[in-house]
Amino acid sequence: MTKLKLCGLVRICDIEAVNRLNPEYIGFVFAKKSRRYVDPAQARELRARLDKGISPVGVFVNESPEAIADLVRSGIIDVVQLHGSEDEDFLRKLRELVSCPIIKAFSVKTPQDVRIACESSADLILLDSGGGGTGTVFDWDLLEPIRRPWFLAGGLSPENAADAIRRLAPYGVDVSSGIETDGVKDIQKMNDFVRAVRGAAERKL
């Protein structure tokens, strides 16, 4: 079954919606330049309202390993997602501080980008169009068979999610702007996206 990650949640009503939809993962964005940024105090309040069966992911862009580890140790996040220029040395330093799963995002523009991503020591890789949360789809034809767990991101929506799953069979799908209207999470689009993903996954069984 394809895993779901609904990213960029900032409001209590967003949490109430995901508690009803029950995705495997949700995302809190800790990159200060993002319009979806939440500070640790906000994230703590949102986490407290999140159902225990849903794993909160912290999304970071070139943050220090120590700052990331503080959020993990405090129980605000269960998974780390790196969206900057973090290299293998950074991952080694972070693993000395935390034992939780690490997702590393990669921008895909050439087949070589996919091969580099597949060599990452991260627990999971995420393939995106670049920038994060831009709503842009990259060229899926660049994806050769990927023999490790990976998330698909970039321009996903209720309209194309099912096709993406049938064509590419990712471990999971990650969406943010595709479930928004005017930059705000849209509950109906969230419902439609989850329904599309689960419907496609069920038809594959």
Distance CA 68, CA 62 (A): 10
Contact 27, 176 (CB under 8 A): yes
7 is catalytic: yes
Give the N- to C-terminal CA distance of the chain in Å, as an integer.
8
* Residue 140, SS3 per DSSP: helix
Distance CA 193, CA 163 (A): 12
Query: In terms of DSSP H, where are the helices of 1-64?
Result: 12-21, 40-49
Selected catalytic residue, list 14, 100, 128, 174: 128
- Distant-in-sequence, close-in-space partners of 24: CB < 8 Å, separation ≥ 6: 3, 4, 5, 54, 55, 172
Hey, what are 86's tokens? 């973090």
Selected catalytic residue, list 7, 14, 100, 174: 7
Residue of 105, 69, 66 whose CA lies nearest to 86: 105
Catalytic residues: 7, 128
